C-alpha cells in the first residue's frame, strides 16, 4: 500500500509544481490539479477499503525519522480514512465543477485549492497539537484565497470579515497551545490525553482556549456571522467544500480534543451543539436567499454532529456509526445542494422552480433534502434512530425534545422550499446547461444512495433498500419514461401481487388493513387510468406511500414500524403536493405528520430503554412510571395522522386540494395508518393512567369531540371536497371513540368504520371529483340538477350517503348497530351524548351533497355536461356493489376479526349464526332489513309516481327574474350558506380556534427568527465581538456548572 503521507505530500508537491508552470498553460495546470486530487482520492479510498475489510490495521506515520513527541506524527484509522476520502472527493468534484472559474483564474487558484484540501486532510490525520494549528492556519489562508473565486463583489468583504474572526481564533488557540504544552510537556495529542488529569487541573484555561478555538472553527451559532456571509457570497462549489469538507475536518479535530477533555468537556460540546442546532434552524425560518439558508442549515447540521460527538460516552461502540451517518449525510446533502444552487440562476428560494424542467435534478433536490433531514432510507435515519434511543435511555429528555424540535423546524423550512420549487411560477431564467456541473450533482446523488445502502448494511436492522415494496416504488423512478397507463397497470399488478404473496402470513386484523391498503389501493388506481401523458412523479410517490403502508401492517419491531411510517408520510406528502393549489396544505400536512412521527419516535425510544431492536409486543412490558408517558406520546403521534380535533387543521386542505384520484387514496386509505397504530398501541399497552387520569377516557373524549366538531364544520362548507374532508375528521372521531371504549364491540365498531370509511369516502371523493371535473367548480351552490346528466355519479353519491349516515339498509347501519350495542356496555355517558348528537349533524352535510349537487335547478352553463369519465365511474360502481354485499353479509369480513378480537377482549363477542348477528341486547338480520326497507321504498316510490302523474314540469326559465343584479350573486342563491340558521346557533363551535392557535405558534417562531437574526449586523467587528462574547459566556457557564 502507498503510504498515506502522500495524501499530504502529493497535494503539496502538486501545488509547488503548479508554481513552476507558465501562466498561459491553463489546460496543463488544470489537468495536473485534477490528477493530484484523483490520486489523493484514490489513495484515501484504497486505505478506507483496506481498513474496513480488515486487510490492514490503522497506521502511524512518523516524520523526520523520530518518534513522537520529538517529531510530528500522523495517524490513519478507519474514521480518518473516511474523512480524508470525503475531503479529497469533495475537492475533486468541486474542482470539476469549477472548471470555467479555474481556467479564468489560472494556476494560482488551482494551487490554493490543492493546499486547501491538503490542509483539511492534515487536520484529520495529525496527532500533534501545534501541527493542528498550522493546518488550521493553512485552511484560513487558502479559504481567504478561494473566497475570491466568486463573481459576487460582496464576497470580498465576507472574506475580510472571515480573516478578522480567524485572527481572533488563532490568538486564542496559540495562547492555549503554549500553556497546554507547559502543563504537559508535550505537544502530542496522545501524550496530552495520557496527562489529561494534570492538564485539566493545572491548565484548564489552556485547554479551554484550544477547545473553544476549534469550536469557533466549526462556525457554531451564534458566533458565526462571518461564516454565513461566506456561504451566501462565495462560489457555490467552494461553499460546498466549506460545509462538507472543512466542517468535517473541524469535527474530527474537536473529537481529538475531547479525547483529552473527557466527559466534562463532552457535555460542553453537547450543549454548544444542540444550541447551535436549534438556534440556526430557527433563524433559517426567516431566510429568503437560498445560499444563506443553506449556510444556516450547515451551521445547524454541524451543531447536531457536535452534539453527537459530545454524546460519544453514551453511544459507546456505536459512536462512529451514528456520527458518521449524520456527518456523511450532511456532507453529501449539503455539498449537493450548494452544487445544485450553482445551476439555478436566481437567488430567491422561489427561483428553484426552474428545476421543474429537469426531473433528474428535481430528484436530486428531493434526495438531498431527505439526506439532510434524515428520512429513510438515508444514513441519517439509521443514525438518528440510535442517537435518540441512546439519549432517551440516559434520560436526557431536554436534549431529546430540543433535538426533535430542531429537526422539525428544519424539515419545515426545507420542505417549504421544495414546495416553492414544485409549485411556484417558473418566471426565472432556466437552469445552467453546463454538463459537467450536472454530472457533479449526479455523482452526489449516487453517493447519497450508496451511503444509504452501506448504512443499511451496517445497521443491526433490515436494510431498507432490501425491502421489496420500497424497491418496487423506487423502480418507478427508472420507469418514468413509460406512459402513465402502462405504469398504472404495473402499479395495480404490484399491489395485488404483493397482497397475494403476503396473504398467508397475515393475521385477521392485518388482513383487513392489507385488503384496504393493497386491494383497495389497486381499486382506486383504476381511476388513475383516466390520466394520460406520463404523469411524472406520481407513481414513485404513490408507490412509496403504499410501500410504507404495506410494511407498516406487518412490522414486528419498532424500527420497521417507524421506517414504514416515515416512508408513507413522505410518499403521501409528494402525492398531496401534486394538487394545483396544495402547496401550503401539503406543507402543513408534512409538518404535522413529521411532528407526530417524532412523538412516536420519542415514545418508542423511551419504551426501548436503549434497546435499538425493540419488538412491538414488548410495549406491553414497559414498566410503570414510564408506561403512561410512552402511551401518551405514541397515541398523540397516531392521532396526528387520524386528524383528531386540535391536530386536524392540515386535513381539509390536504384532502380537498389533492388531485381527483389522490383524494380517495389519502382519505380512504392513508388515514387508516393512524388507526392501525392505535390498534397496535391499545392491543399491547391497554389502559394506562397518568396522574390518576385514564388515558383511554381522554381519548374517548377526543374522539367524541372530533366527531361532533368535524361533522359540524363539514355542514358549513361550500366546497364539496372540503365537506368530505371535514367529514373524515368526524368519521375518524367515531373510530377513535370506538377504540377508546376498550371493549370488544367498540373495537369491532372501529374496524367496521375502517372498512366502511374506506369504501364510502373513496367512492364519494371519486364521484364528487368527477362532478368537479365536468362542471369546473367545487362550490356546491354553483351546481344543481345534475341528476339526469350524471346519473351514475348520482347513484354513487346516494348509496354513499345512505351508507355513511348509518340508516338502514346499508352497511353504515351495521356500524351504528354495533356502536349502539357497544355504548350500552360502556360506563361513560357524557361523551356518548356528544356522539349521539353528531349523528344528526352528519345528516345535514350529507343531505347537502345530494340536494345541492344533483337535485334542484340545472345551471345554464352545465347544460352540456356529460357523465364523469369512465375510469372514474368504474371504481364507484364497484364500490356500490361492495357496499351492497358488505351490507348483506357483514360476516364475510367481520366474523374472523370478531374471533381475533376475542383474544384480547373476550367479553361481549357477537354470535354469527346464519345471516343473523346477535348481541346481548338484540339481533341484527341484514337480509331482512334490506328486504323491509326495499319494500317500503318501492311502495312509497310507486305511490308518489301515482299521485304525481298529472304534475306539470316547470322549466328553469319559466319564471321572470326582476330587480337588480346583486353584487355577489351567490348570496341570493338558496344553496349558498345553506344552514345559516344552524350556523347562527352553533357556529361558535366551528370557529377556527385551532387554526388560529397553530397560526399563532408559527407566527411567533417566524417573528422570533426575524427579530433575533438582526444580531448579524454585517459588521466584521461586531462579528468578532460576538466571538469573544461567546468565548466568555461559554467559559463562565462551564465554570459555573
Partner 1 sequence: MDLIAMATGFLLILIGLFGALTNRNILRMIVAFAVANTGVNLVLVSVGYMTGRTAPILDSAVPVAEATARVIDPVPQALVLTAIVIGVGVTALMLAYAYRLFKTRGTLDISRYTDLKW
Q: Applying CB under 8 A, which residues contact partner 1?
A: 130, 134, 137, 140-141, 144-145, 153-154, 156-161, 163-164, 166-168, 170-171, 174-175, 177-179, 181-182, 187, 225, 228-229, 232-233, 286, 1013-1014, 1016-1021, 1024-1025, 1028
- Based on CB atoms, which residue is closest to partner 1, 209 or 599? 209
Instruction: Mention every residue, 6+ apart, whose C-beta is less than 8 A from residue 757.
Output: 668, 671, 672, 728, 731, 732, 735
Please state the closest distance from residue 229 (CB atom) to partner 1, in A: 4
Please state the closest distance from residue 347 (CB atom) to partner 1, in A: 12
- Based on CB atoms, which residue is closest to partner 1, 224 or 582? 224
Q: For residue 192, which of 253, 264, 136, 127 has the smallest C-alpha distance?
A: 127
CA distance 573 to 557: 25
Q: Is the dihedral of CA 631, 636, 639, 640 positive or negative?
A: negative
Please state the closest distance from residue 244 (CB atom) to partner 1, in A: 21
Please state the closest distance from residue 1018 (CB atom) to partner 1, in A: 3
Q: For residue 566, which of 539, 606, 604, 611 has the smallest C-alpha distance?
A: 604
Please state the closest distance from residue 119 (CB atom) to partner 1, in A: 12
Instruction: Pull the grid cell for residue 447.
Output: 453517493
| DSSP 8-state code for residue 504 | G
DSSP H/E element including 284 = helix 247-284
Look at residue 788 and give its three-state secondary structure: coil
* Grid-cell match 381527483, residue found: 660
Please state the closest distance from residue 276 (CB atom) to partner 1, in A: 18
* Main-chain phi, psi angles of 921, to 5 degrees: -105, -15
First to last CA, the chain: 49
- Based on CB atoms, which residue is closest to partner 1, 72 or 707? 72
Look at residue 690 and give its three-state secondary structure: strand
- Based on CB atoms, which residue is closest to partner 1, 164 or 915? 164
CA distance 148 to 393: 48
Please state the closest distance from residue 140 (CB atom) to partner 1, in A: 7
- Based on CB atoms, which residue is closest to partner 1, 184 or 793? 184
Please state the closest distance from residue 373 (CB atom) to partner 1, in A: 24
693 DSSP β-pair partners:
690
For residue 991, the number of C-alpha atoms closer than 13 Å in the C-beta half-sphere is 8
Please state the closest distance from residue 639 (CB atom) to partner 1, in A: 38
* Main-chain phi, psi angles of 905, to 5 degrees: -130, 90
Please state the closest distance from residue 605 (CB atom) to partner 1, in A: 36
* Grid-cell match 445502502, residue found: 453
Is the Cβ–Cβ distance between 500 and 452 less than 8 Å? Answer: no
* Main-chain phi, psi angles of 694, to 5 degrees: -75, 115
Is the Cβ–Cβ distance between 344 and 290 less than 8 Å? Answer: yes
Please state the closest distance from residue 346 (CB atom) to partner 1, in A: 17
Please state the closest distance from residue 239 (CB atom) to partner 1, in A: 13
Instruction: Pull the grid cell for residue 569.
Output: 408520510
Residue 493: is it exposed, middle or buried by C-beta count within 10 angstroms (0-12/13-18/19+)? exposed
Please state the closest distance from residue 191 (CB atom) to partner 1, in A: 13
Look at residue 689 and give its three-state secondary structure: strand
Please state the closest distance from residue 1016 (CB atom) to partner 1, in A: 5
| DSSP 8-state code for residue 615 | B
Strands 911-913, 693-694: parallel, antiparallel or unpaired by DSSP?
A: unpaired
Q: For residue 644, which of 700, 601, 584 has the smallest C-alpha distance?
A: 700
Q: Estimate the crossing angle of helix 435-458 against helix 379-393, to 10 degrees.
A: 40
- Based on CB atoms, which residue is closest to partner 1, 349 or 622? 349
- Based on CB atoms, which residue is closest to partner 1, 80 or 232? 232
- Based on CB atoms, which residue is closest to partner 1, 174 or 915? 174
Instruction: Pull the grid cell for residue 778.
Output: 367545487
CA distance 278 to 398: 12
- Based on CB atoms, which residue is closest to partner 1, 156 or 993? 156
- Based on CB atoms, which residue is closest to partner 1, 178 or 402? 178
CA distance 761 to 755: 10
- Based on CB atoms, which residue is closest to partner 1, 21 or 141? 141
Please state the closest distance from residue 1033 (CB atom) to partner 1, in A: 17
CA distance 28 to 341: 29
CA distance 324 to 800: 53
Amino acid at each position: 500500500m502507498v503510504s498515506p503521507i502522500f495524501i499530504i505530500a502529493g497535494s503539496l508537491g502538486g501545488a509547488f509544481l503548479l508554481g513552476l508552470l507558465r501562466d498561459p498553460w491553463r489546460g496543463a495546470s488544470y489537468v495536473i490539479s485534477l490528477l493530484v486530487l484523483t490520486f489523493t482520492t484514490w489513495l484515501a479510498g484504497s486505505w478506507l477499503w483496506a481498513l474496513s475489510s480488515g486487510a490492514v490495521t490503522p497506521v502511524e506515520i512518523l516524520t523526520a525519522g523520530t518518534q513522537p513527541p520529538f517529531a510530528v506524527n500522523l495517524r490513519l484509522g478507519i474514521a480518518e480514512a473516511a474523512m480524508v476520502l470525503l475531503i479529497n472527493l469533495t475537492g475533486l468534484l468541486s474542482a470539476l465543477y469549477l472548471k470555467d472559474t479555474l481556467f479564468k483564474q489560472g494556476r494560482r487558484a488551482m494551487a490554493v485549492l490543492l493546499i486547501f484540501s491538503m490542509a483539511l486532510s492534515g487536520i484529520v490525520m495529525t496527532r500533534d497539537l501545534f501541527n493542528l494549528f498550522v493546518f488550521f492556519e493553512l485552511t484560513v489562508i487558502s479559504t481567504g484565497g478561494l473566497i475570491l473565486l466568486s463573481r459576487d463583489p460582496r464576497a470580498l468583504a465576507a472574506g475580510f470579515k472571515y480573516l478578522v474572526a480567524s485572527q481572533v481564533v488563532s490568538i486564542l488557540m496559540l495562547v492555549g497551545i503554549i500553556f497546554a504544552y507547559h502543563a504537559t510537556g508535550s505537544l502530542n495529542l496522545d501524550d496530552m490525553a495520557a496527562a489529561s488529569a494534570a492538564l485539566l487541573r493545572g491548565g484548564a484555561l489552556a485547554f479551554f482556549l484550544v477547545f473553544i478555538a476549534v469550536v469557533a472553527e466549526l462556525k457554531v451559532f451564534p458566533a458565526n456571522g462571518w461564516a454565513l456571509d461566506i456561504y451566501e457570497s462565495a462560489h457555490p462549489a467552494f461553499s460546498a467544500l466549506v460545509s462538507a469538507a472543512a466542517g468535517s475536518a473541524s469535527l474530527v479535530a474537536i473529537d481529538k480534543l475531547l479525547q483529552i477533555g473527557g466527559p466534562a468537556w463532552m457535555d460542553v460540546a453537547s450543549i454548544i451543539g444542540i444550541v447551535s442546532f436549534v438556534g440556526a434552524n430557527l433563524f433559517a425560518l426567516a431566510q429568503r436567499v437560498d445560499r444563506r439558508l443553506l449556510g444556516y442549515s450547515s451551521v445547524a447540521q454541524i451543531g447536531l454532529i457536535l452534539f453527537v460527538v459530545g454524546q460519544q460516552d453514551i453511544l459507546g461502540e456505536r459512536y462512529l456509526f451514528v456520527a458518521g451517518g449524520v456527518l456523511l449525510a450532511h456532507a453529501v446533502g449539503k455539498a449537493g445542494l450548494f452544487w445544485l444552487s450553482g445551476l439555478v440562476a436566481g437567488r430567491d428560494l422561489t427561483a428553484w422552480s426552474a428545476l421543474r424542467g429537469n426531473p433528474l435534478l428535481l430528484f436530486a433536490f428531493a434526495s438531498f433534502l431527505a439526506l439532510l433531514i434524515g428520512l429513510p432510507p438515508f444514513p441519517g435515519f439509521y443514525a438518528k434512530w440510535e442517537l435518540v434511543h441512546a439519549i432517551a435511555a440516559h434520560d436526557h429528555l431536554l436534549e431529546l425534545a430540543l433535538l426533535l424540535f430542531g429537526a422539525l423546524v428544519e424539515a419545515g423550512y426545507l420542505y417549504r422550499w421544495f414546495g416553492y420549487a414544485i409549485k411556484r411560477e417558473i418566471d426565472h431564467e432556466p437552469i445552467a446547461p453546463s454538463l459537467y456541473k450536472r454530472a457533479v450533482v449526479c455523482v452526489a446523488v449516487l453517493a447519497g444512495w450508496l451511503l444509504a445502502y452501506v448504512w443499511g448494511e451496517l445497521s443491526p436492522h433490515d436494510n431498507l433498500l432490501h425491502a421489496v415494496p420500497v424497491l418496487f416504488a423506487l423502480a418507478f423512478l427508472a420507469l418514468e419514461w413509460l406512459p402513465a397507463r402502462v405504469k398504472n397497470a404495473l402499479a395495480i399488478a404490484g399491489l395485488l401481487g404483493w397482497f397475494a404473496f403476503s396473504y398467508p402470513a397475515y393475521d385477521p386484523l392485518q388482513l383487513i388493513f392489507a385488503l384496504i391498503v393493497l386491494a383497495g389501493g389497486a381499486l382506486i388506481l383504476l381511476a388513475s387510468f383516466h390520466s394520460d401523458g406520463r404523469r411524472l412523479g406520481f407513481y414513485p410517490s404513490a408507490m412509496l406511500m403504499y410501500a410504507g403502508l404495506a410494511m407498516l401492517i406487518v412490522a414486528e419491531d419498532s424500527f420497521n414500524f417507524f421506517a414504514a411510517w416515515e416512508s408513507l408520510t413522505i410518499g403521501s406528502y409528494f402525492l398531496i403536493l401534486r394538487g394545483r393549489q396544495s402547496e401550503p396544505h401539503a406543507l402543513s400536512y408534512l409538518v404535522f405528520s413529521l411532528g407526530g412521527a417524532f412523538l412516536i419516535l420519542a415514545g418508542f425510544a423511551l419504551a426501548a430503554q436503549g434497546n435499538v431492536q425493540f419488538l412491538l409486543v414488548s410495549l406491553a412490558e414497559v414498566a410503570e412510571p414510564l408506561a403512561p408517558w410512552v402511551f401518551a406520546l405514541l397515541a398523540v403521534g397516531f392521532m396526528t395522522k387520524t386528524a383528531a380535533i386540535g391536530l386536524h387543521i392540515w386535513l381539509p386542505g390536504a384532502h380537498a386540494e389533492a388531485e381527483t384520484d389522490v383524494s380517495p387514496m389519502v382519505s380512504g386509505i392513508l388515514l387508516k395508518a393512524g388507526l392501525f397504530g392505535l390498534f397496535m398501541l391499545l392491543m399491547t399497552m391497554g389502559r394506562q393512567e397518568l396522574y390518576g387520569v385514564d388515558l383511554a377516557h381522554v381519548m374517548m373524549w377526543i374522539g367524541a369531540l372530533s366527531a361532533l366538531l368535524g361533522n359540524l364544520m363539514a355542514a358549513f362548507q361550500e366546497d364539496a371536497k372540503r365537506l368530505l374532508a371535514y367529514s373524515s375528521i368526524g368519521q375518524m372521531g367515531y373510530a377513535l371513540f370506538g377504540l377508546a371504549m376498550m371493549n370488544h364491540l367498540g373495537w369491532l365498531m372501529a374496524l367496521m368504520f375502517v372498512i366502511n370509511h374506506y369504501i364510502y369516502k373513496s367512492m364519494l371523493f371519486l364521484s364528487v371529483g368527477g362532478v368537479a371535473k365536468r362542471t369546473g367548480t367545487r362550490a356546491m351552490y354553483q351546481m344543481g340538477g345534475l341528476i339526469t346528466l350524471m346519473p351514475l355519479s348520482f347513484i354513487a353519491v346516494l348509496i354513499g350517503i345512505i351508507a355513511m349516515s348509518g340508516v338502514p339498509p346499508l352497511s353504515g347501519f351495521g356500524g351504528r348497530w354495533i356502536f349502539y350495542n357497544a355504548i350500552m356496555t360502556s360506563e361513560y355517558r357524557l361523551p356518548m351524548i356528544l356522539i349521539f348528537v353528531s349523528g344528526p349533524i352528519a345528516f345535514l352535510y350529507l343531505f347537502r351533497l345530494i340536494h345541492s349537487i344533483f337535485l334542484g335547478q340545472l345551471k345554464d352553463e352545465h347544460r352540456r355536461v356529460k357523465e364523469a369519465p369512465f375510469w372514474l365511474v368504474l371504481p364507484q360502481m364497484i364500490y356500490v356493489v361492495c357496499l351492497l354485499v358488505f351490507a348483506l353479509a357483514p360476516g364475510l369480513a367481520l366474523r374472523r376479526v370478531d374471533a381475533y378480537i376475542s383474544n384480547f377482549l373476550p367479553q361481549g363477542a357477537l354470535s354469527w349464526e346464519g345471516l343473523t348477528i346477535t348481541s346481548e341486547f338484540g339481533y341484527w338480520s341484514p337480509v331482512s332489513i334490506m328486504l323491509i326497507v326495499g319494500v317500503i321504498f318501492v311502495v312509497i316510490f310507486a305511490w308518489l309516481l301515482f299521485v304525481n302523474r298529472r304534475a306539470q314540469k316547470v322549466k328553469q326559465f319559466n319564471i321572470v327574474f326582476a330587480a337588480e343584479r346583486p353584487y355577489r350573486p351567490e348570496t341570493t342563491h338558496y344553496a349558498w350558506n345553506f344552514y345559516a340558521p344552524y350556523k347562527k346557533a352553533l357556529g361558535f363551535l366551528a370557529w377556527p380556534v385551532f387554526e388560529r392557535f397553530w397560526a399563532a405558534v408559527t407566527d411567533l417562531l417566524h417573528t422570533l427568527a426575524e427579530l433575533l437574526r438582526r444580531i448579524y449586523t454585517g459588521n466584521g467587528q461586531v462579528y468578532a465581538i460576538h466571538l469573544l462574547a461567546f468565548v466568555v459566556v461559554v467559559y463562565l457557564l462551564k465554570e459555573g456548572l
